[in-house]
Structure 1
Amino acid sequence: MSRTVLNLYEAKTSLSKLVDRAAAGEETIIAKAGRPVAKLVPFEARPEKRVPGGWQGKVRIAEDFDAPLADDVLAAFEGDS
């Protein structure tokens, strides 16, 4: 992978070309006042395949999870405690 170092002004004026070069595999370092501050690199999508059932046996939901709250608990949530 080749690498180029440009100052911020040069990068701003040639962003479209830099994006094309990054897509082709080139890495660009962008500097501000001679100090490197950012890196433009090719995007590499890495889709993670979902494996269903990963939490099976690790999570338990109570039968009454959606039952109405007790009056005192509901009052505390509403700020009436």
Structure 2
Amino acid sequence: MQIVNIHEAKTHLSRLIEKAARGEAFVIAKAGKPLVKVTALDTPAAGESRRLGFLAGQISVPDDFDQMGSTEIEQQFKGEI
């Protein structure tokens, strides 16, 4: 994996981004210390959409999901636990 310093990254940002978009991730370093990894996002291709509801019928959410654990949370706020 290519490591570039901040100055080089600023100077050649467009070229580096194009490489990352093609799958060639790189690391930006400051004073030789790696800071961030730049990599392409896993997004749908143009014209493609993510499938909504693909888990329909496979999972269930309890009717009281927004109240689950409320007793324990209240006790923690009061310092009882």
Count of residues in Structure 1 that have an aligned counterpart in Structure 2:
57
Considering only aligned residues, what root-mean-square deviation do their CA atoms show, in Å?
2.3
Greater C-alpha Rg: 1
Any unmatched runs of 5+ in structure 2? 45-49, 65-81
Residue identity over aligned pairs, in percent, reads 35
Change in Cα spacing, 1:37 to 1:48, as seen in structure 2 (3 Å) is farther
Report the equivalent of 1:35: 33
Instruction: Tell me which stretches of 4 or more aligned residues in structure 1 moved more than 3 Å.
Output: 46-49, 51-56
Any unmatched runs of 5+ in structure 1? 61-81
Residue 63 of structure 2 corresponds to residue 59 of structure 1: yes
Pick the aligned partner of 2:2 from 1, 4, 8: 4
TM-score, normalised to structure 1, is 0.57
Report the equivalent of 1:17: 15
